[in-house]
Amino acid sequence: MFLTTRALVLREVKYKEADKILTVLTPSDGKLTVKARGAMRKSCRYAAASQIFALSEMTLFGSRGRWSLNEAETVEQFLPLRDSLESFALAAYFAEMLELLSDEDCPGPEMLQLGLNSLYALSRGLFLDEQIKAAFELRLMCLAGFEPALDGCRVCGREPEDALLSLNGGVLHCRSCRPEVSGVSLPVPPECLQAMRYIISAPPKRLFSFSLPEGSLRRLADICEAYALAQLERSCGALDYYKTVKRNG
């Protein structure tokens, strides 16, 4: 069977002499593993369309649960990401997270849109990297079924004073209510809580349209990253690499 779809390349792995194994994210079929024969050759007609971060119109051939690339035309390559090692590393983290949290043969239009909007904003320098990263992490966790409950204290039900977020439980609680909530909790300043509530509910095209002072933005970034990693219960190699690049930059 043939499938024609837009697909974002999340990962590319060299296979044999000139082939690639691609992991792509599609709106209708979710995450797919695709063999791209000859994609390593410069003369290959879909060499550019099979590079990481490329959004391409692909025609795939499926047989016995396996997909191979038949034709592809590039829609967007996000080329500015390759001009900055830090931006490229952050984009690689986005791609790894999308791969981890998307499902095979399951529609994922919202995740694909989030990935594309984030790569676009990052490649164009529309917002600060920390702002894009924090919004991406929190919104992705919501789409993956890990939306934190931020409407009030889980214990007393009131708007929390000196709010803390339980990283494992995904709930807010007052500092005075902490003994009734197990696990690690992080303080959430009021301006960060307001930004998190905005990120959870904002229209996709307005996701990054919030502002915070520099110190508060760093705090928001720390909270969103810690929450995402706690929910995943694992580390991300691309995140470690991004931090190394950022620290040495």
* CA end-to-end span of the chain: 48
94 within 8 A of 123, measured Cβ to Cβ? no
Q: Could you read off the pLDDT of 111-152 as tens digits, one per residue?
A: 999 999 999 999 999 999 999 999 999 999 999 999 999 999
Strands 164-166 and 2-15: unpaired
Whether residue 7 contacts residue 24, with contact meaning beta carbons closer than 8 Å, is answered with yes
Q: Which parts of the chain have pLDDT scores under 50?
A: none
**In this predicted structure, what is the pLDDT of residue 95?**
98
Q: What is the pLDDT of residue 159?
A: 92
